[in-house]
């Protein structure tokens, strides 16, 4: 056996302490590093329990500590909520000349996501710039919005006028018209918010919407203040039609979990509470009483309808004195 062979044999039979220590240490390090649930013997590291907080470890030294990822998530959620409400300070000037951006219009045609008012000749796959109206998007971030997808103030005004004119349509049930207008006016509010438009023209847009939706109150007040009893008798059928329309507005617009008090509704429509309850029943709506005996109108009922015959006679508050004088 030559000299090199004897040295190899000697190394196998009597390994050096340093080589042995190094070799075993390297082996142990590789063994334990392959399993993250075990610890290395070369340190005092103790892993945190994975059964308490999942992926978010406790910070016992600083109880008020908020992880960076969590603070970023909260900031994003807050920003999305502000954008949804249309109150985020905007830095965009819209350039879209249509009621609905061209990209959204084409996409909704492909998806057949067109409301009945937006369909060209009734085709759910076709629309036009004169029919399509931008939908409301619940969560949106300004950094992903193109100026060409946001409508300027002048286009928003024209869009609102177009939507309010749909209130005069009689081809479709009111709840269908209302749902469409409700969604599209939210989109208008969102575009106003993204551009941070707060001026007299924007205020006028809000006033115009509420005036059209709540003009029944002005009409009834005018009748009560200016009409004689004879004039009221002539226009009473129209008064009840306006009242029925107001009831349908309230039934569709109010929150389902909060029934509308008949006492308040009777004051709005200028009639007695007992007549108000009978009027609701004539419109196909149910009423109920709370624990205190107060009459309530549950909203979001789908049974609303105009009576096939004429409404029963319901006087308008403020005209009783004329009615008594006539009867005498």
- The angle that helices 229-253 and 200-226 make with each other, rounded to 10 degrees, is 140
What's the 3-state SS for 221-235? HHHHHHCCHHHHHHH
Sheet architecture: strand order including 260-261: 260-261, 295-297, 288-289
Structure token digits, residue 170: 């009689």
Report the SS3 class of residue 265.
helix
Residue that wins the pLDDT comparison between 181 and 61: 181
Residue that wins the pLDDT comparison between 129 and 214: 129
Residue 81 Cα to chain centre, angstroms: 10
The pLDDT of residue 85 is: 40
* Mean pLDDT score of the chain: 75
With a CB cutoff of 8 Å and minimum separation 6, the contacts of 182 are 253
- pLDDT tens, residue by residue, 4-19: 666 666 656 655 444 4
Structure token digits, residue 292: 């205190």
Structure token digits, residue 188: 């208008």
CB 248 within 8 A of CB 304: yes
Q: So where are the chain's domains?
A: 89-198, 229-327
Q: Which of 157, 164, 145 is nearest to 197 (CA)?
A: 157
The pLDDT of residue 59 is: 43
E strands, the chain, are: 260-261, 288-289, 295-297
24 has a pLDDT exceeding 60: no
The pLDDT of residue 42 is: 40
Question: What's domain 229-327's architecture?
Answer: Orthogonal Bundle (1.10)
Average pLDDT over residues 238-245: 86
Confidence of residue 214 (pLDDT cuts 50, 70, 90): low
Rounded CA separation 38/27 (Å): 15
- pLDDT tens, residue by residue, 39-98: 334 444 444 433 333 333 444 444 444 444 444 444 444 444 434 444 444 468 999 999
Confidence of residue 180 (pLDDT cuts 50, 70, 90): very high
Q: Which of 248, 219, 244, 261 is nearest to 314 (CA)?
A: 244
């Amino acid at each position: 056996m030559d000299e090199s062979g004897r040295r190899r044999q000697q190394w196998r039979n009597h390994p050096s302490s340093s080589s042995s220590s190094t070799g075993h240490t390297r082996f142990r390090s590789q063994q334990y590093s392959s399993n993250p649930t075990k610890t290395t013997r070369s340190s005092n590291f103790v892993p945190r329990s994975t059964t308490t907080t999942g992926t978010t470890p406790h910070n016992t030294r600083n109880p008020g500590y908020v992880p960076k990822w969590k603070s970023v998530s909260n900031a994003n959620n807050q920003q999305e909520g502000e954008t949804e409400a249309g109150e985020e300070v905007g830095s965009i000037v819209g350039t879209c000349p249509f009621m609905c951006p061209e990209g959204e219009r084409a996409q909704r045609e492909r998806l057949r996501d067109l409301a009945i008012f937006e369909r060209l000749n009734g085709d759910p796959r076709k629309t036009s710039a004169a029919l399509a109206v931008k939908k409301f998007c619940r969560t949106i971030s300004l950094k992903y919005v193109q100026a060409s997808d946001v409508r300027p103030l002048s286009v928003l005004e024209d869009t609102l006028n177009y939507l309010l004119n749909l209130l005069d349509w009689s081809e479709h049930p009111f709840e269908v018209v209302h749902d469409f207008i409700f969604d599209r006016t939210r989109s208008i509010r969102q575009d106003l918010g993204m551009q941070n438009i707060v001026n007299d023209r924007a205020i006028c847009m809000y006033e115009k919407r509420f005036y059209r939706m709540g003009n029944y109150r002005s009409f009834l007040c005018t009748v009560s203040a200016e009409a004689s009893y004879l004039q009221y008798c002539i226009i009473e059928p129209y008064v009840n039609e306006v009242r029925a329309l107001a009831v349908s507005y309230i039934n569709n617009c109010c929150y389902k979990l909060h029934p509308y008090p008949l006492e308040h509704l009777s004051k709005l429509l200028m009639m007695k509470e007992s007549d108000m309850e009978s009027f609701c029943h004539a419109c196909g709506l149910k009423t109920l009483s709370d624990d205190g005996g107060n009459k309530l109108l549950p909203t979001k009922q789908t049974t609303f309808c105009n009576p096939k015959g004429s409404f029963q006679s319901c006087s308008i508050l403020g005209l009783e004195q004329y009615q008594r004088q006539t009867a005498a």
